[in-house]
Amino acid sequence: MSTPHTPLQLSRDEQKRLESLVRSTTIPQGQAVRAKIIILAAAGNSYPEIARLTGVSRQTVIKWRARFAKNRLQGLQDKPRSGKPAIYTAKDRERVLIAIGRQPKNATHWSVRALAEETDIGRQTVHRLLKAERLKPHLTKSWVHSTDPEFETKALDVIGLYLDPPENVLVLSVDEKTCIQALDRTEPILPLRPGLPERRSFDYVRHGTTNLYAALAVHDGEVTGQCTDRHRHEEFLAFIKLLWRKYKNHELHLIVDNLSAHKHRNVKAWLRKHPRVVLHFTPTHSSWLNQIEIWFSILARKAILRGTFRSTKQLIDVIMNFIETYNQRGKAFNWTFDKNALLPKLTIVTKH
Protein backbone atom coordinates (compact mmCIF):
# COMPACT_ATOMS: atom_id res chain seq x y z
CA MET A 1 0.00 0.00 0.00
CA SER A 2 1.77 3.11 -1.25
CA THR A 3 1.77 6.52 0.39
CA PRO A 4 2.34 9.99 -1.15
CA HIS A 5 6.01 10.65 -1.79
CA THR A 6 5.87 14.21 -0.42
CA PRO A 7 4.65 14.41 3.20
CA LEU A 8 1.84 16.93 3.75
CA GLN A 9 2.71 19.37 6.53
CA LEU A 10 0.08 21.42 8.36
CA SER A 11 0.56 24.50 10.47
CA ARG A 12 -1.14 24.65 13.85
CA ASP A 13 -3.72 27.13 12.54
CA GLU A 14 -4.45 24.95 9.50
CA GLN A 15 -4.88 21.88 11.71
CA LYS A 16 -7.36 23.73 13.97
CA ARG A 17 -9.29 25.11 11.01
CA LEU A 18 -9.55 21.71 9.32
CA GLU A 19 -10.68 20.03 12.54
CA SER A 20 -13.29 22.76 12.95
CA LEU A 21 -14.60 22.11 9.43
CA VAL A 22 -14.87 18.38 10.11
CA ARG A 23 -16.90 18.99 13.29
CA SER A 24 -19.12 21.68 11.80
CA THR A 25 -22.82 20.91 11.28
CA THR A 26 -23.55 24.04 9.24
CA ILE A 27 -21.25 23.68 6.22
CA PRO A 28 -21.93 21.46 3.18
CA GLN A 29 -20.93 17.84 3.73
CA GLY A 30 -18.53 17.99 0.81
CA GLN A 31 -16.37 20.64 2.50
CA ALA A 32 -16.18 18.55 5.68
CA VAL A 33 -15.05 15.53 3.62
CA ARG A 34 -12.33 17.60 1.93
CA ALA A 35 -11.02 18.75 5.31
CA LYS A 36 -10.98 15.15 6.55
CA ILE A 37 -9.03 14.09 3.45
CA ILE A 38 -6.31 16.63 4.23
CA ILE A 39 -6.14 15.65 7.91
CA LEU A 40 -5.75 11.97 6.98
CA ALA A 41 -3.15 12.82 4.35
CA ALA A 42 -1.14 14.83 6.88
CA ALA A 43 -1.26 11.81 9.19
CA GLY A 44 0.53 9.74 6.54
CA ASN A 45 -2.37 7.66 5.25
CA SER A 46 -2.18 6.33 1.70
CA TYR A 47 -4.58 7.37 -1.08
CA PRO A 48 -6.52 4.07 -0.98
CA GLU A 49 -6.79 4.22 2.82
CA ILE A 50 -8.05 7.83 2.76
CA ALA A 51 -10.55 6.91 0.05
CA ARG A 52 -11.83 4.02 2.19
CA LEU A 53 -12.13 6.15 5.33
CA THR A 54 -13.93 9.05 3.61
CA GLY A 55 -16.08 7.07 1.17
CA VAL A 56 -14.79 8.84 -1.96
CA SER A 57 -12.75 7.69 -4.93
CA ARG A 58 -8.93 7.60 -5.06
CA GLN A 59 -8.97 10.26 -7.79
CA THR A 60 -11.01 12.56 -5.54
CA VAL A 61 -8.41 12.17 -2.78
CA ILE A 62 -5.58 12.98 -5.20
CA LYS A 63 -7.47 16.01 -6.53
CA TRP A 64 -8.11 17.68 -3.16
CA ARG A 65 -4.68 16.83 -1.76
CA ALA A 66 -3.08 18.47 -4.78
CA ARG A 67 -5.39 21.50 -4.55
CA PHE A 68 -4.49 21.92 -0.88
CA ALA A 69 -0.76 21.51 -1.50
CA LYS A 70 -0.92 24.30 -4.07
CA ASN A 71 -3.35 26.80 -2.48
CA ARG A 72 -3.66 25.56 1.13
CA LEU A 73 -7.09 26.15 2.73
CA GLN A 74 -8.23 28.33 -0.16
CA GLY A 75 -7.73 25.35 -2.45
CA LEU A 76 -10.56 23.46 -0.72
CA GLN A 77 -13.13 26.01 -1.92
CA ASP A 78 -15.19 25.37 -5.03
CA LYS A 79 -13.98 27.23 -8.10
CA PRO A 80 -16.37 29.68 -9.75
CA ARG A 81 -18.61 27.84 -12.16
CA SER A 82 -19.81 29.02 -15.51
CA GLY A 83 -23.50 28.83 -16.23
CA LYS A 84 -26.68 30.79 -16.09
CA PRO A 85 -26.11 34.26 -14.54
CA ALA A 86 -27.97 35.42 -11.45
CA ILE A 87 -31.63 36.03 -12.20
CA TYR A 88 -31.90 39.00 -9.90
CA THR A 89 -29.83 42.15 -9.62
CA ALA A 90 -28.80 44.49 -6.82
CA LYS A 91 -31.74 46.72 -7.76
CA ASP A 92 -34.12 43.79 -7.34
CA ARG A 93 -32.69 43.13 -3.90
CA GLU A 94 -33.06 46.79 -2.98
CA ARG A 95 -36.71 46.86 -4.12
CA VAL A 96 -37.55 43.84 -2.00
CA LEU A 97 -35.78 45.22 1.08
CA ILE A 98 -37.51 48.59 0.73
CA ALA A 99 -40.91 46.97 0.27
CA ILE A 100 -40.56 44.62 3.22
CA GLY A 101 -39.80 47.58 5.46
CA ARG A 102 -43.26 49.00 4.76
CA GLN A 103 -46.59 47.81 6.12
CA PRO A 104 -48.51 45.91 3.41
CA LYS A 105 -51.99 47.01 2.45
CA ASN A 106 -54.87 44.97 3.87
CA ALA A 107 -52.54 42.54 5.65
CA THR A 108 -50.59 42.25 8.89
CA HIS A 109 -47.37 41.05 7.25
CA TRP A 110 -45.80 40.32 3.88
CA SER A 111 -45.99 36.99 2.11
CA VAL A 112 -43.75 35.88 -0.75
CA ARG A 113 -46.66 36.20 -3.17
CA ALA A 114 -47.55 39.70 -1.94
CA LEU A 115 -43.93 40.85 -2.18
CA ALA A 116 -43.66 39.44 -5.69
CA GLU A 117 -46.76 41.39 -6.76
CA GLU A 118 -45.59 44.56 -5.01
CA THR A 119 -42.10 44.53 -6.56
CA ASP A 120 -42.97 42.88 -9.89
CA ILE A 121 -40.31 40.22 -9.24
CA GLY A 122 -40.85 36.47 -9.57
CA ARG A 123 -41.91 34.56 -6.45
CA GLN A 124 -38.94 32.19 -6.59
CA THR A 125 -36.58 35.15 -6.85
CA VAL A 126 -38.26 36.87 -3.89
CA HIS A 127 -37.98 33.64 -1.91
CA ARG A 128 -34.25 33.36 -2.68
CA LEU A 129 -33.69 37.01 -1.75
CA LEU A 130 -35.48 36.60 1.60
CA LYS A 131 -33.52 33.43 2.31
CA ALA A 132 -30.21 35.11 1.43
CA GLU A 133 -31.01 38.03 3.76
CA ARG A 134 -32.36 35.68 6.47
CA LEU A 135 -35.67 37.56 6.51
CA LYS A 136 -38.75 35.70 7.78
CA PRO A 137 -41.79 38.01 7.61
CA HIS A 138 -44.10 35.22 8.82
CA LEU A 139 -42.30 35.10 12.19
CA THR A 140 -42.57 37.56 15.03
CA LYS A 141 -40.96 37.97 18.44
CA SER A 142 -42.21 39.93 21.40
CA TRP A 143 -40.74 41.49 24.49
CA VAL A 144 -42.01 43.28 27.55
CA HIS A 145 -40.47 46.31 29.18
CA SER A 146 -40.86 46.80 32.91
CA THR A 147 -42.15 50.24 33.81
CA ASP A 148 -41.77 49.62 37.52
CA PRO A 149 -40.24 52.83 39.00
CA GLU A 150 -38.52 50.65 41.62
CA PHE A 151 -37.17 48.16 39.08
CA GLU A 152 -33.51 48.53 40.03
CA THR A 153 -34.09 48.31 43.78
CA LYS A 154 -36.33 45.24 43.48
CA ALA A 155 -34.07 43.53 40.95
CA LEU A 156 -30.99 44.08 43.10
CA ASP A 157 -32.85 42.72 46.10
CA VAL A 158 -33.77 39.48 44.31
CA ILE A 159 -30.38 39.03 42.62
CA GLY A 160 -28.61 39.63 45.91
CA LEU A 161 -30.60 36.79 47.48
CA TYR A 162 -29.60 34.51 44.61
CA LEU A 163 -25.89 35.33 44.64
CA ASP A 164 -25.11 36.10 48.26
CA PRO A 165 -27.95 35.31 50.71
CA PRO A 166 -27.64 36.28 54.39
CA GLU A 167 -26.46 33.59 56.80
CA ASN A 168 -29.07 31.03 57.96
CA VAL A 169 -31.57 32.32 55.39
CA LEU A 170 -33.44 29.92 53.13
CA VAL A 171 -34.36 31.58 49.83
CA LEU A 172 -37.52 30.20 48.22
CA SER A 173 -38.76 31.13 44.77
CA VAL A 174 -42.56 30.95 44.98
CA ASP A 175 -45.40 31.25 42.48
CA GLU A 176 -48.68 29.75 41.28
CA LYS A 177 -49.27 27.82 38.08
CA THR A 178 -52.99 28.31 37.68
CA CYS A 179 -55.72 26.56 35.70
CA ILE A 180 -53.76 23.43 34.78
CA GLN A 181 -56.20 21.45 32.66
CA ALA A 182 -56.88 17.73 33.01
CA LEU A 183 -57.26 16.95 29.31
CA ASP A 184 -58.29 13.55 28.01
CA ARG A 185 -58.31 12.53 24.34
CA THR A 186 -61.44 11.18 22.67
CA GLU A 187 -59.41 8.44 20.94
CA PRO A 188 -56.45 6.33 22.10
CA ILE A 189 -53.03 7.86 21.43
CA LEU A 190 -51.12 6.16 18.64
CA PRO A 191 -47.54 5.57 19.85
CA LEU A 192 -44.30 6.60 18.20
CA ARG A 193 -43.25 4.32 15.32
CA PRO A 194 -40.32 4.32 12.89
CA GLY A 195 -40.96 7.19 10.49
CA LEU A 196 -44.06 8.37 12.36
CA PRO A 197 -44.41 10.72 15.35
CA GLU A 198 -46.78 10.09 18.22
CA ARG A 199 -50.31 10.86 17.01
CA ARG A 200 -53.36 11.95 18.95
CA SER A 201 -56.88 13.07 18.15
CA PHE A 202 -57.43 16.79 17.78
CA ASP A 203 -60.50 16.95 20.00
CA TYR A 204 -60.40 16.36 23.73
CA VAL A 205 -62.46 16.21 26.92
CA ARG A 206 -61.62 18.50 29.83
CA HIS A 207 -62.11 16.96 33.28
CA GLY A 208 -61.50 20.14 35.26
CA THR A 209 -58.51 22.16 36.40
CA THR A 210 -56.18 22.50 39.34
CA ASN A 211 -53.82 25.20 40.61
CA LEU A 212 -50.30 24.45 41.73
CA TYR A 213 -48.52 26.47 44.40
CA ALA A 214 -44.80 25.69 44.29
CA ALA A 215 -41.66 26.84 46.09
CA LEU A 216 -38.14 26.20 44.81
CA ALA A 217 -35.35 26.22 47.38
CA VAL A 218 -32.98 28.28 45.27
CA HIS A 219 -29.68 26.99 46.62
CA ASP A 220 -30.39 23.24 46.82
CA GLY A 221 -33.11 22.69 44.19
CA GLU A 222 -35.78 21.15 46.44
CA VAL A 223 -39.36 21.82 45.34
CA THR A 224 -42.42 21.97 47.58
CA GLY A 225 -45.84 21.87 45.95
CA GLN A 226 -49.51 21.99 46.85
CA CYS A 227 -52.51 21.74 44.51
CA THR A 228 -55.69 23.68 45.23
CA ASP A 229 -59.13 24.15 43.67
CA ARG A 230 -58.88 27.94 43.76
CA HIS A 231 -56.14 30.58 43.78
CA ARG A 232 -57.10 33.30 46.23
CA HIS A 233 -55.16 34.90 49.03
CA GLU A 234 -56.49 32.17 51.36
CA GLU A 235 -54.72 29.47 49.34
CA PHE A 236 -51.55 31.53 49.09
CA LEU A 237 -51.50 32.12 52.85
CA ALA A 238 -52.11 28.42 53.49
CA PHE A 239 -49.10 27.58 51.31
CA ILE A 240 -46.90 30.06 53.18
CA LYS A 241 -47.94 28.41 56.44
CA LEU A 242 -47.00 25.03 54.97
CA LEU A 243 -43.51 26.36 54.18
CA TRP A 244 -43.30 27.96 57.62
CA ARG A 245 -43.95 24.58 59.26
CA LYS A 246 -41.70 22.60 56.89
CA TYR A 247 -38.66 24.87 57.28
CA LYS A 248 -39.09 25.71 60.96
CA ASN A 249 -35.36 26.08 61.60
CA HIS A 250 -34.75 28.74 58.96
CA GLU A 251 -35.55 32.35 58.29
CA LEU A 252 -37.53 32.22 55.05
CA HIS A 253 -37.15 34.80 52.29
CA LEU A 254 -39.76 34.24 49.59
CA ILE A 255 -39.40 35.69 46.10
CA VAL A 256 -42.88 36.35 44.68
CA ASP A 257 -44.51 38.40 41.94
CA ASN A 258 -46.95 41.28 42.30
CA LEU A 259 -50.25 39.35 42.28
CA SER A 260 -52.80 41.13 44.44
CA ALA A 261 -53.30 37.99 46.55
CA HIS A 262 -49.65 38.23 47.65
CA LYS A 263 -50.30 41.70 49.06
CA HIS A 264 -53.69 41.05 50.68
CA ARG A 265 -54.21 42.63 54.10
CA ASN A 266 -54.67 39.19 55.70
CA VAL A 267 -51.33 38.05 54.29
CA LYS A 268 -49.65 41.21 55.57
CA ALA A 269 -51.21 40.77 59.00
CA TRP A 270 -49.94 37.19 59.24
CA LEU A 271 -46.44 38.22 58.13
CA ARG A 272 -46.30 40.91 60.84
CA LYS A 273 -46.96 38.23 63.45
CA HIS A 274 -44.42 35.85 61.89
CA PRO A 275 -41.27 37.88 61.15
CA ARG A 276 -39.37 34.67 60.28
CA VAL A 277 -41.04 34.89 56.82
CA VAL A 278 -40.16 37.81 54.51
CA LEU A 279 -41.55 38.47 51.03
CA HIS A 280 -39.44 39.97 48.25
CA PHE A 281 -41.38 41.23 45.23
CA THR A 282 -39.97 41.06 41.71
CA PRO A 283 -40.40 44.16 39.51
CA THR A 284 -43.56 44.21 37.40
CA HIS A 285 -43.28 42.32 34.10
CA SER A 286 -40.08 40.62 35.26
CA SER A 287 -41.04 36.98 35.72
CA TRP A 288 -37.60 36.03 34.38
CA LEU A 289 -36.22 37.05 37.78
CA ASN A 290 -38.21 34.32 39.53
CA GLN A 291 -36.47 30.97 39.19
CA ILE A 292 -39.62 28.96 39.88
CA GLU A 293 -40.72 29.91 36.36
CA ILE A 294 -37.84 27.79 35.02
CA TRP A 295 -39.07 24.83 37.03
CA PHE A 296 -42.67 25.38 35.86
CA SER A 297 -41.38 25.12 32.30
CA ILE A 298 -39.72 21.79 33.11
CA LEU A 299 -42.91 20.50 34.72
CA ALA A 300 -45.02 21.53 31.74
CA ARG A 301 -42.72 19.94 29.15
CA LYS A 302 -42.10 16.69 30.97
CA ALA A 303 -45.35 15.95 32.77
CA ILE A 304 -48.29 18.01 31.53
CA LEU A 305 -48.29 19.17 27.89
CA ARG A 306 -48.41 15.70 26.33
CA GLY A 307 -50.18 14.01 29.20
CA THR A 308 -53.61 12.40 29.13
CA PHE A 309 -55.64 12.77 32.32
CA ARG A 310 -59.02 11.15 32.95
CA SER A 311 -59.66 13.15 36.12
CA THR A 312 -58.37 16.09 38.10
CA LYS A 313 -57.18 13.67 40.76
CA GLN A 314 -55.03 11.84 38.22
CA LEU A 315 -53.53 15.17 37.11
CA ILE A 316 -52.73 16.11 40.71
CA ASP A 317 -51.18 12.68 41.35
CA VAL A 318 -48.94 13.09 38.28
CA ILE A 319 -47.82 16.55 39.43
CA MET A 320 -47.05 15.46 42.99
CA ASN A 321 -45.23 12.32 41.80
CA PHE A 322 -43.19 14.46 39.43
CA ILE A 323 -42.19 16.73 42.32
CA GLU A 324 -41.19 13.73 44.44
CA THR A 325 -39.11 12.25 41.63
CA TYR A 326 -37.57 15.62 40.77
CA ASN A 327 -36.43 16.14 44.37
CA GLN A 328 -34.54 12.85 44.28
CA ARG A 329 -32.22 14.01 41.51
CA GLY A 330 -32.89 17.72 41.03
CA LYS A 331 -30.18 20.31 41.47
CA ALA A 332 -30.09 24.04 42.03
CA PHE A 333 -30.12 26.11 38.86
CA ASN A 334 -26.80 27.67 37.93
CA TRP A 335 -27.64 31.38 38.07
CA THR A 336 -25.43 32.94 35.37
CA PHE A 337 -26.64 36.52 35.72
CA ASP A 338 -24.09 39.08 34.55
CA LYS A 339 -24.65 41.99 36.87
CA ASN A 340 -22.48 44.25 34.71
CA ALA A 341 -24.78 43.69 31.73
CA LEU A 342 -27.88 45.12 33.40
CA LEU A 343 -27.12 46.84 36.67
CA PRO A 344 -24.05 48.93 37.41
CA LYS A 345 -23.63 47.71 40.98
CA LEU A 346 -24.83 44.73 43.00
CA THR A 347 -26.13 45.77 46.39
CA ILE A 348 -27.91 43.27 48.59
CA VAL A 349 -31.11 44.74 50.00
CA THR A 350 -32.49 42.45 52.68
CA LYS A 351 -35.58 43.43 54.62
CA HIS A 352 -35.77 42.65 58.33
Residues of the chain with pLDDT under 70: 1-7, 80-87, 336-352
Give residue 90's pLDDT: 83
Domain boundaries, the chain: 12-76, 90-132, 151-342
**12-76 with 151-342: one CATH topology?**
no
Domain at 151-342: CATH code: 3.30.420.10
Give residue 8's pLDDT: 80
Give residue 347's pLDDT: 41
Domain 12-76 indexed as CATH 3.40.1710 = no
Q: What is the DSSP letter of 55?
A: T
Give residue 27's pLDDT: 78
